[in-house]
Structure 1
Amino acid sequence: MPDRRSASRCCRSASRSKWMRSSRSAPDPLDPGPHGFAHRGVHRLDVIRENTLTAFAAALEIGAGIECDVRLTKDDQLVVFHDSDGRRLCDDPAVIGESTLAQLVHLRVGDQPIPTLASLFALVDGRVPLLIEAKVDGNLWRFGPALLRAVDSYQGRFGVMSFDPRLERWLKTNQPSIRRGLVMKGNLSAFRRWSAMRLANPDFLAVETTALGAPWLARIRQRMPVYSWTVKTRELRTLAARHVDASIWEADGRP
């Protein structure tokens, strides 16, 4: 007969395993299906540019979920754009956060204007799930309210994710019905992972591909959906299929 201490350990272990299984019993509301999430839409340099309505339309054509980046303008509007300024994508030094939406109208990504989050919502119209990565850049107290205004009337499936765990905590406090994700690099120390997860208290995790196969990631996946960025090769695609729930992909990482 096991002693009382051993029995207690067994009970705690069984209880913990049961809880971890039950926490994933419900389907993932953002499940993109077999086509995963297209990273910044389906794009190819000089053919279809990233984070454009054309790239998002191409993702819709194949039924892929869409991952995109959003930034806050000087007048608290949300635009779909990855970089902090227009140098790489628009050959223009304009800083997104220091410009009004009207001042950004003339910028072109390829031959297209920078989309607003509202224009992306209008295009997608609930057909596929969206992963919206918030580029907060220290503007937490302006970003949160602007985001809530922007998503208020959208009826489709979406999640908001960020490297900044403070935004996820802010959303949990102010609009807990929004699915919240923490974006995490693969080389964070155990303490930094723990502290970010504790502060964010996310519904899902989006992790760099360098963490694929790590034991800590497997443990987190028992509690919540995990996606991985950026899956760019066939090898990474195969690895991601074993270790995460969905790929955030581009190029040869396409499922």
Structure 2
Amino acid sequence: MLKLHPSITILLIISAAIPLFFIYSVGGRSHRPDFPEFYGLLCAHRGLFKNAAPYDRPENSLGAFRAAVEAGYGIELDVRFSRDKKLVVFHDDTLKRLCGEDIRVCDLTADELASRRILGGTEHIPLFREALDVIGGAVPIIVEIKCPKDEKPVPLCKAVAEMLDGYDGPYCVESFNPKVVRWFRKNRPQVFIGQLSDAFLRDGHRGADYFAMHHLLVNLAGRPDFVAYNCRHADAAAFRVWRNIYRSPAAAWTVRSQKELDAIRDYYDCYIFEGFIPDENKMNENKNDNK
């Protein structure tokens, strides 16, 4: 019998263990909650918004949410804390892009934020409660929890969860922060929870955090039910493992044209879009082809 040198044996064991660890780490929890609305969902990114004159339905505004409900689309929206720990709907860390002020959202109270007009139009920065009241359970929503690195996730997660506990409508939750995903898995196991990610290394990002996000190694902590992945990188190896080995759900972000939607629709289950109105006849044709 061939006797291998101990160092070679160790190397072989490590070589075999690495891919097994990778496959294990990117997998979600084995018993995911039911969320049938997710499959085939066309979801308006930050509402069915238009960041142009007359600025009556800019992104993440009540006007954009009303427009999405009227059109029958799902809604993706962003939730974060104000300075006084109220839940507000706003994507960016600062007000600079949408309100012209270089100040962080977390440095203003909810009332101060409500006094600002998005892009100088008629819409204010809404509370999460206001958004839920406007949507009223009419369409599914994807709630993205914005939790910066310098913020403790537990108070924010608790506040979002407690508000959603009383919401009568279909929803799921997602975040780039794996600590948020893990908190919901442990404390709200009935909620369909997703890990947001991207092929960060392809875009020039470097560092351990980006490496873990790119390769979905953060799933080891969060054990998400679905992954929301940049639709431009459906060929990324980690994403393909997630889809092909685990047959797990995936959401595409952010689809910006019908051409792009047609190209990626077979790789995802849910489509977060902006800047165009999807051709639902083509989506229905695709469903029929897959029966």
- The corresponding residue for 1:105 is 114
Say if 2:52 is the partner of 1:46.
yes
Aligned length: 234
The AA in structure 2 aligned to 1:31 is F
- The corresponding residue for 1:10 is none
The structure-2 alpha-carbon separation of the partners of 1:111 and 1:185, relative to structure 1 and needing over 3 Å to count, comes to same
Q: After TM superposition, give the deviation of residue 226 of structure 1 in Å.
A: 0.5
Counterparts of 1:209-224 in structure 2, within 5 Å, are 209-214=231-236, 216-221=238-243, 222-224=246-248
Q: After TM superposition, give the deviation of residue 215 of structure 1 in Å.
A: 5.1
- The corresponding residue for 1:252 is 276
For normalisation by structure 1, the TM-score amounts to: 0.83
The structure-2 alpha-carbon separation of the partners of 1:185 and 1:94, relative to structure 1 and needing over 3 Å to count, comes to same
The structure-2 alpha-carbon separation of the partners of 1:39 and 1:84, relative to structure 1 and needing over 3 Å to count, comes to same
CA separation in 1, counterparts of 2:111 and 2:103?
12
- The corresponding residue for 2:139 is 128
Q: After TM superposition, give the deviation of residue 50 of structure 1 in Å.
A: 0.6
1:60-104: CA deviations, max 9, x gaps?
A: 111111001111112211111011121111122332112211222
The AA in structure 2 aligned to 1:187 is F
The AA in structure 1 aligned to 2:115 is H
- The corresponding residue for 1:195 is 217
CA separation in 2, counterparts of 1:242 and 1:226?
11
- The corresponding residue for 1:145 is 158
The structure-2 alpha-carbon separation of the partners of 1:229 and 1:65, relative to structure 1 and needing over 3 Å to count, comes to same
* 8 Å Cα contact 2:40-2:271 kept in structure 1: no
Q: After TM superposition, give the deviation of residue 46 of structure 1 in Å.
A: 1.4
The structure-2 alpha-carbon separation of the partners of 1:25 and 1:85, relative to structure 1 and needing over 3 Å to count, comes to closer
Identity percentage of aligned residues: 30
CA separation in 2, counterparts of 1:101 and 1:28?
32
Q: After TM superposition, give the deviation of residue 190 of structure 1 in Å.
A: 7.2
- The corresponding residue for 2:22 is none
* 8 Å Cα contact 1:186-1:209 kept in structure 2: no
The AA in structure 2 aligned to 1:239 is A
Task: List runs of 5+ in structure 2 lacking aligned partners.
Answer: 1-26, 202-209, 280-291
Counterparts of 1:1-255 in structure 2, within 5 Å, are 28-31=35-38, 33=40, 36-47=42-53, 48-109=57-118, 110-138=121-149, 139=151, 140-188=153-201, 192=213, 193-214=215-236, 216-221=238-243, 222-252=246-276, 254-255=278-279
Structure number with greater Rg is 2
Q: After TM superposition, give the deviation of residue 253 of structure 1 in Å.
A: 6.5
1:14-59: CA deviations, max 9, x gaps?
A: xxxxxx9xx799974332646x000111112214311111111111
The structure-2 alpha-carbon separation of the partners of 1:200 and 1:111, relative to structure 1 and needing over 3 Å to count, comes to same
For normalisation by structure 2, the TM-score amounts to: 0.73
1:121-172: CA deviations, max 9, x gaps?
A: 1111111110111110132132112212221200211111100111110111
* 8 Å Cα contact 1:32-1:64 kept in structure 2: no
The AA in structure 2 aligned to 1:107 is R
Task: List runs of 5+ in structure 1 lacking aligned partners.
Answer: 1-19
CA separation in 2, counterparts of 1:190 and 1:105?
38
CA separation in 2, counterparts of 1:65 and 1:40?
10
- The corresponding residue for 1:15 is none
**SS of 2:276's equivalent?**
helix
The AA in structure 1 aligned to 2:112 is Q
Q: After TM superposition, give the deviation of residue 194 of structure 1 in Å.
A: 3.8
CA separation in 2, counterparts of 1:123 and 1:252?
22
The AA in structure 2 aligned to 1:111 is T
The AA in structure 2 aligned to 1:150 is M
